Structure 1
Amino acid sequence: MSGLRARLLVSGDLHLGRYPSRVPPGDPALEIQAVVRALVDQAIERHVDAVILTGDVADQSNKYFEAFGVLERALHRLVEAGIPVVAVAGNHDHDVLGSVADAVGEGVTVLGRGETWASMPLEKNGREVLRLWGWSFAGPSVHTSPLDTFPGVSGDVPTVGLLHADLDVAGSRYAPVTADRLWETGASAWLLGHIHAPDLRTRDGRLILYPGSPQPLDPGEPGPHGAWLVDVAGDGTATAEAVPLATVRYDALSIDLGGAADATEIRERVAVGIREHADALRDENPALRRAVVRLTLRGRTPAYRSVEAVASELLDTVETAASGLTVSVDRVEERARPALDLDGLAEGSGPVATLAALAGRLEAGTPSEGDLALIRRSVEALQQARRARVFTPLGRSGRFPEDLREEAVLRLRRQTFRLLEEALAQTPTASAGASD
Structure 2
Amino acid sequence: METKAKIEIISRKAINPFSPTSPQCRNLKFSLLDQIVPPRYTSIILFYTANTNQNIDSSSTAHSEISNSLQKSLSKTLVHFYPFAGRLKDNTCIECSDEGAYFIEARINCQLSEFIKEPDPNFLSHLLPTSDPKGAELVGRVVLLIQLTVFKCGGTAVSVCASHKIADASSMCEFIKSWAAMARDHDEVVHPEFIGASMMRPTTDPSIEGRLEAPGESFVTKRFVFDVSKLANLKAKIGSGVPQLVPTNVELVSAIFLRCAIAACQSTTGCLKPSLLYQTVNLRTRMVPPVPEAAIGNLIWGFPVVVEEASKMEVGDIVVKMRKGLIDFCNEKANRFKGEDGYSFVFESFKVGESLKMGMNMYFCSSWCKFPFYEVDFGWGKPTWITCPMYSMNAITLMDTKRGERIEAWVTLEKQEMAMFETNEELLAFASINPSLIT
TM-score by length of 1: 0.23
Greater Rg over alpha carbons, structure: 1
- Which one has more relative contact order, counting CA pairs under 8 Å at least 6 apart? 2
TM-score by length of 2: 0.22
